[in-house]
């Protein structure tokens, strides 16, 4: 009997220990979960304000230090307006982190308002704050203490453009400056310098002027005979090369004299022997000065210069008069040279301008991207829609509040007889681009039976059938829940891609579509958007339209 009691006692102890272990394990898991689960609170500094005053709305998040937290960013506090979102204040303690962010809110109409629940994402999971009530009171005005004035008329405010006008203006001004510099330094006919004027003279006149300048030089005074004779021989050799048409600059003294004698013997140059001998003597003296460093008398240097001047004159007189044909060829040659020079100027000017234009275009492409620059310069119909003045309106009943680039136009819909037994009324509003695949349609319908629930899958099937009937092929379908941005109304988003026909062509192009469905007892609502798959502007428009959607969740006004 004692053995049995001991056994029962042991079993009881074992069971008790097991229960304690399970309880500890459960409590440990619960405590661990409670510690890891983020704590989110929201508070306001006051519940009563006057019109135009601001409320400080604070969101406090206590989470794990590794958590990724996303706070509200846009106007999600409607009907109150967010004035400012302050920086996030972060506090860390061990493995926990506390994030605090404050928002300045206001309202300019009196009444009682509810700040809607705000969504905070922690590691991709959505958490919501509690809604808060705020009373906005009017400001009492003493009409006897101050004057009353008439209401000022409305002032039209131009919508700020997204086009980079400042950068483009700077680039345009820079290009105009480049054009001016091109004109001033390249294309403009500048006044000739003294040297350029001398260079345009005939060889004979130019040689005499250069000999006169040599006479007034200081070479002899400074005993620079080598430079003196070098310039003296260069003047006469250049003249002979240009006027007599012989290679004088590269010839030695003996070679040059031989060439002159050959021309004399051939009757092409009527020079006497004394002139040629005198020329040979001057050249030999110049060779001795330049290569043997001989220093002649000053009087001899002067005589040699005068002798060269006489040689130039006699050579010029000895040359036969040019024929009319030679003069014409020379004139044509000069005109051709002038044309080449002018052409060279224009080539340099155009190349400079094109280079500056390419640099400016490169800067724009670097800052804004090639596609944006191309579409801005050449125009893009959907980009123009994105940058136009958008319209915010309500369509159909129950109403769909939506913002679109253009006003949606009401369409007449003829329902088949069999459909009239199900649908009491169908209202359709559309916008279709004439140039691209971009289109928006909004429809709202009520059922004949007020208790009928909407069938979103059937709606999606009907829409896809209409797309296929219009020529679309290879349509893919995906589904996900859709929540409106402000009121958080729930709906279904059906989207995908396929091959679609554009308005002005039967050719199939890659496109995308998105169908948003809402509904309730006795009614349903749809928003359908189609656009080209690679159209970044259409995707931005679609995203903006989706964020603006608001619907009534019942048929009551």
What pLDDT digit, counting tens, does each position of 518-547 carry? 888 888 888 999 988 888 888 888 888 888
> Does the N-terminal peptide bond of residue 422 adopt cis geometry, omega within 30 degrees of 0?
no
Residue whose C-alpha is closest to residue 236's, from 253, 218, 220: 253
Torsion of CA 9, 11, 16, 18, to 10 degrees: 160
Reading phi first (left if > 0) and then psi (alpha if -120 to 50, else beta), residue 104 is in beta
Structure-block tokens of residue 181 = 């510099």
Phi, psi of 431 (to 5 degrees): -140, 130
Query: Is it true that domain 203-320 has CATH number 1.20.120?
Result: yes
Distances (CA, A) of 55 to 89, 134, 137, 209: 18, 9, 13, 93
pLDDT at 59 over 90: yes
Q: What percent of the chain has pLDDT over 70?
A: 81
Query: Tokens 């003279």, residue?
Result: 201
Domain residue extents for the chain: 1-36, 39-137, 167-200+336-379, 203-320, 381-551
H/E run at residue 435: none
Residue pair 452/513 in contact (Cβ under 8 Å)? The answer is no
How many helices (DSSP H) and strands (DSSP E) are in the chain?
14, 21
Phi, psi of 524 (to 5 degrees): -150, 155
Per-residue pLDDT band for 487 (boundaries 50, 70, 90) equals confident
Res 140: pLDDT: 62
What is the rounded CA–CA span in Å between residue 386 and residue 536?
10
Residues 76-124: tens digit of each pLDDT = 888 888 888 888 888 888 888 899 999 999 988 888 888 888 989 888 8
β-pairing, 96-106 vs 89-93, is antiparallel
Res 456: pLDDT: 81
What is the rounded CA–CA span in Å between residue 240 and residue 254?
15
Kindly tell me the burial class for residue 549, based on how many C-beta atoms sit within 10 Å of its own C-beta (0-12, 13-18, 19 or more).
Answer: buried
What is the rounded CA–CA span in Å between residue 179 and residue 81?
51
H/E run at residue 153: none
Query: Tokens 């926990």, residue?
Result: 96
What is the rounded CA–CA span in Å between residue 183 and residue 168?
22
> Does the N-terminal peptide bond of residue 398 adopt cis geometry, omega within 30 degrees of 0?
yes
Structure-block tokens of residue 15 = 């069971």
pLDDT at 11 over 60: no
Residue pair 518/533 in contact (Cβ under 8 Å)? The answer is no
β-pairing, 132-137 vs 48-50, is parallel
Residue scoring higher pLDDT (148 or 422): 422
Q: At what angle do helices 324-368 and 370-378 cross, to 10 degrees?
A: 120
**In the chain, how long is the greatest CA-to-CA distance?**
166
Question: Which residues of 353-489 form beta strands (DSSP E)?
Answer: 391-395, 400-404, 409-411, 423-432, 439-447, 478-483
What CATH number matches the domain at 39-137, 3.30.420.40, 2.170.190.11, 3.40.50.620, 2.60.40.10? 2.60.40.10
Least confident residue range of 42-56, 216-230, 316-330: 316-330
Residues 184-193: tens digit of each pLDDT = 777 777 666 7
Q: Which residues have C-beta within 8 Å of that of residue 101, sequence separation ≥ 6?
A: 58, 59, 71, 85, 86, 87, 88, 89
Mean pLDDT of 26-31: 40
Residues 463-473: tens digit of each pLDDT = 888 888 888 88
Structure-block tokens of residue 170 = 């700077």
H/E run at residue 195: helix 194-199
Residue whose C-alpha is closest to residue 282's, from 311, 319, 322: 311
- Helix/strand/coil for 231: helix
Which numeric CATH code is attached to 381-551?
Answer: 3.40.1000.10
Per-residue pLDDT band for 18 (boundaries 50, 70, 90) equals very low
> Does the N-terminal peptide bond of residue 79 adopt cis geometry, omega within 30 degrees of 0?
yes
């Amino acid at each position: 009997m004692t053995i049995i009691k001991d056994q029962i006692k042991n079993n009881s102890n074992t069971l008790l220990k097991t229960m304690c272990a399970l309880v500890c394990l459960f409590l440990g898991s619960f405590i661990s979960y409670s510690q890891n689960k983020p704590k989110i609170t929201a508070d306001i500094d006051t519940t009563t304000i006057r019109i135009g005053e601001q409320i400080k709305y604070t969101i406090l998040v206590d989470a794990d230090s590794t958590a990724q937290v996303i706070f509200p960013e846009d106007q999600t506090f409607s009907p109150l307006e967010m004035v400012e979102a302050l920086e996030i204040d972060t506090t860390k303690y061990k493995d926990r982190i506390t994030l605090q962010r404050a928002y300045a809110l206001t309202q300019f109409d009196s009444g009682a308002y509810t700040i809607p629940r705000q969504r905070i994402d922690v590691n991709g999971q959505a958490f919501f704050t509690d809604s808060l009530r705020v009373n906005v009171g009017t400001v009492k005005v003493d009409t006897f203490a101050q004057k009353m004035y008439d209401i000022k008329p409305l002032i039209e405010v131009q919508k700020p453009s997204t086009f980079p006008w400042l950068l483009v203006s700077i680039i345009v001004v820079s290009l105009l400056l480049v054009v001016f510099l091109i004109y001033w330094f390249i294309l403009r006919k500048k006044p000739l310098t003294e040297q350029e004027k001398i260079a345009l003279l005939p060889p004979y006149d130019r040689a005499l002027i250069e000999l006169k300048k040599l006479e007034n030089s200081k070479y002899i005074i400074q005993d620079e005979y080598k430079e003196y004779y070098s310039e003296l021989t260069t003047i006469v050799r250049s003249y002979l090369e240009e006027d007599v048409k012989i290679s004088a600059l590269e010839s030695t003294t003996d070679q040059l004299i031989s060439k002159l004698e050959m021309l004399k013997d051939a009757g092409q140059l009527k020079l006497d022997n004394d002139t040629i001998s005198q020329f040979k003597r001057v050249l030999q003296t110049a060779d001795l000065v330049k290569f043997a460093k001989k220093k002649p008398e000053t009087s001899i240097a002067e005589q040699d210069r005068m002798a060269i001047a006489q040689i130039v004159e006699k050579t010029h007189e000895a040359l036969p008069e040019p024929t009319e044909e030679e003069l014409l060829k020379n004139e044509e040659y000069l005109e051709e040279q002038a044309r080449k020079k002018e052409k060279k100027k224009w080539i340099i000017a155009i190349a400079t301008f094109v280079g500056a234009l390419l640099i400016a275009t490169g800067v724009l492409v670097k800052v804004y991207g090639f596609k944006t620059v191309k579409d801005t310069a050449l125009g893009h119909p959907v980009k123009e829609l994105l940058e136009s003045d958008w319209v915010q309106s309500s369509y159909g009943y129950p109403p769909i509040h939506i913002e679109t680039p253009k006003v949606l136009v009401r369409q007449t819909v003829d329902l088949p007889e069999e459909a009239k037994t199900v649908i009491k009324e169908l209202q359709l509003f559309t916008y279709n681009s004439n140039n691209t695949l971009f289109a928006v349609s909004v429809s709202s319908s009520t059922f004949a039976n007020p208790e009928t629930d909407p069938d979103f899958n059937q709606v999606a099937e009907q829409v896809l059938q209409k797309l296929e009937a219009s020529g679309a092929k290879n349509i893919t379908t995906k589904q996900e829940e859709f929540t409106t941005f402000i009121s958080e109304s729930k709906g279904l988003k059906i989207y995908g891609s396929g091959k679609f026909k554009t308005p002005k062509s039967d050719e199939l192009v890659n496109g995308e579509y998105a169908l948003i469905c809402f509904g309730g007892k006795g009614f349903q609502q749809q928003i359908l958007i189609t656009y080209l798959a690679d159209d970044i502007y259409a995707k931005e428009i679609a995203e903006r339209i989706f964020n603006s959607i608001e619907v009534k969740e019942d048929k009551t006004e």
